[in-house]
Amino acid sequence: MDVILLVIVCFFSFFLAYKFYGTFIAKRIFAVSDERKTPANEFKDGIDYVPTRKEIIFGHHFASIAGTGPIVGPAIGIIWGWVPAIIWIVLGTITIGAVHDFGSLILSIRNEGKSISEITGKYINKRTQMAFFAIVFLELLIVIAIFGLIMAIIFSMFPESIFPMWFQIPIAVWLGWVIYKKNGNLALFSIIAVALMYLTIVIGVKLPITLPGIGFIPATGVWTIILLIYAYMASMLPVTTLLQPRDYINSHQLIVALFLLFVGVFTSAFRSVNFHIVAPAINFAPKGAPPVVPFIFITIACGAVSGFHSLVSSGTSAKQLARETDGQMIGYGAMVMEAILATLVLIAVAAGIGIAYESGDGKLLTGIPAWTAHYSSWAAAEGLGSKISAFVIGAANMITSSGIPKSVAIAIMGVFVVSFAGTTLDTATRIQRYVLSELFGKFKIFQNRQFATAIAVITAGLLAFATGASGKGALKLWPMFGATNQTLAALALLLITIWLKRKGGIRFLVSGIPCVFMALITTWALVMNQISFIHVKDPLLLTLNMIILFLNLWIIVEGTIVVLKKVK
């Protein structure tokens, strides 16, 4: 019953936050109005700028910001205890993350759908704009390279997910064609598309696919190459061809997954004697882990606050919003939905994993021993595969209690994870194309979609294969990704604060207070990372982290000067 109570309290908190605080921010702070013409309508081109129904854009936005973030973050952040993790997820989302996402979206809409990086030059200066671009480029470079690897790892762990993942593409293209070309009924054909997708999951269970290595390139390397080629092609297509319909299908997949997990919580509570929270409430000194502060705020990003979201809000979603008033549902609402997912992930790894867990030596463990076996130390829990498997195992245990075969439950969760990772991969590639076009706009060749996208994919490929044919080169930079990502969140909040300050009054405090908190936390984490990189004598991480730290402090100082200036 402890799990049920936790779910009710958290979900009720999110509902109240969206209904009251989200509405207050939309109407009183950002003053959204349908009388303003959005960039999607003003610059409509049928490729990137496309006015879209809010239900569809919600699916795209959520799938893009989520990826595997709200899964891997809580799945490892729980090592410090489920209490600090859930407090950060709930309060972080309501007061910081949703404000950050919604603010970035509206700020971009009021500035011709431009990215948060380019807007920096307008509200601070050109120097900070270049610094912001540098941080964004590095962030997206790591995201593209690492998410290709993540998907390769998931394919290896769950071969039953391969068939449904790839078959989802023609289903999505068909859905887009029916809706946009034939004016088909959205609800009807969406249901058909989702039904087809789940049929492919059943087929995937019966026909798992294993990709062998080719020559000297292992399977992970082969998958990384294939996925980067896919990212190039997907990010080149008009958003109505693949991105929107596939993400809309994924939004339905999310609803199904959340429903199964929600039902699984209640059925497990009444049917399984082992279903209760087995993770420690507080564990501030797990073996080998960094300090809980500031790193819990860095580790649990998606599901609380994440800088990458500002790139999606100002990169793709702002170019598709048909009406400003849709912004609350897209910006604030999608972040709340992600927090709901993060909450259920936390329950899966805090309680679901205790129902049944097979240890490395083949023993079947339950309860606290099951949790301890997986989270014996920071080293045991921090790997990408470990994070994902902890969630899938716990979630499958809960879903199985409702009568669904465990093999199907594992496949559903595996496809769920890999589908959202795929969305993040090609959305990040598309955003990187925008960034390159904005950054090198004076060079005509960078306005060419094919060229700019090729640069985005090639640079990510070079990083992925920097350490060999396995495609795991991005793992070299992974230790600095969390702090870099949250640095971007702090800087986006700073820009939102500057913009609100220009509007007059004290409304800027809504983003200003979260900005100060995130700036302190991320700077603290960057400094601690720098000390750690000095100890391990890693020149690459040492150099790049120093650059990020310098750029972070530079933008904060210049931005603070602008905030403190009197509004004329």
- Distance CA(322)–CA(319), nearest Å, equals 9
176: domain CATH number is 1.10.4160
Write the pLDDT tens digit of every residue in 410-438: 888 888 888 888 888 888 898 899 888 88
Q: What is the pTM of this model?
A: 0.91
Q: Is the pLDDT of residue 97 over 90?
A: yes
Mean pLDDT value of segment 493-503: 93
Where does the pLDDT of residue 63 fall: very low under 50, low under 70, confident under 90, or very high at 90 and above? confident
Structure tokens at 526: 């960057």
Query: How many domains does the chain fold into?
Result: 1
Q: Is 189 helix (H, G, I), strand (E, B) or coil?
A: helix
**∠ CA(340), CA(341), CA(345), 5° rounding?**
120
Domain that holds residue 385: 2-564
What is the model's pLDDT at position 382?
Answer: 55
Are residues 108 and 318 in contact, defined by beta-carbon separation less than 8 angstroms?
yes
Residue among 416, 364, 410, 361 nearest 389 (CA): 410
What is the model's pLDDT at position 566?
Answer: 65
β-strand 364-365 against 357-358: which pairing, if any?
A: antiparallel
Return phi, psi of residue 214, to 5°.
-120, 115
Write the pLDDT tens digit of every residue in 335-377: 999 999 999 999 999 998 888 887 766 778 888 888 888 887 6
What is the model's pLDDT at position 381?
Answer: 58
Q: Is the pLDDT of residue 1 over 70?
A: no
Q: Is the pLDDT of residue 41 over 90?
A: yes
- Distance CA(315)–CA(108), nearest Å, equals 8
Q: Is the pLDDT of residue 567 over 60?
A: no
Where does the pLDDT of residue 385 fall: very low under 50, low under 70, confident under 90, or very high at 90 and above? low
Mean pLDDT value of segment 183-203: 88
Write the pLDDT tens digit of every residue in 274-296: 788 999 999 988 888 899 999 99
What is the model's pLDDT at position 459?
Answer: 94
Q: Which single residue is written with the structure tokens 């671009």?
A: 133
Select the more confidently predicted residue: 272 or 426: 426
Q: Which single residue is written with the structure tokens 């948060």?
A: 116
Radius of gyration of the chain (CA): 22
Q: What is the mean pLDDT of the chain?
A: 89
Write the pLDDT tens digit of every residue in 211-253: 888 888 999 899 999 999 999 998 888 888 888 888 888 888 8
Beta carbons within 10 angstroms of residue 157's beta carbon:
18
Q: How many helices (H) and strands (E) does the chain have?
A: 25, 2
What is the model's pLDDT at position 309?
Answer: 94
**∠ CA(353), CA(250), CA(171), 5° rounding?**
125
Of 26-30, 169-173, 239-243, 525-529, the one with minimum mean pLDDT is 239-243
Task: Report CA 13 to chain centroid distance, whole Å.
Answer: 22
Length of the chain, please?
568
Where does the pLDDT of residue 199 fall: very low under 50, low under 70, confident under 90, or very high at 90 and above? very high
Mean pLDDT value of segment 55-77: 86
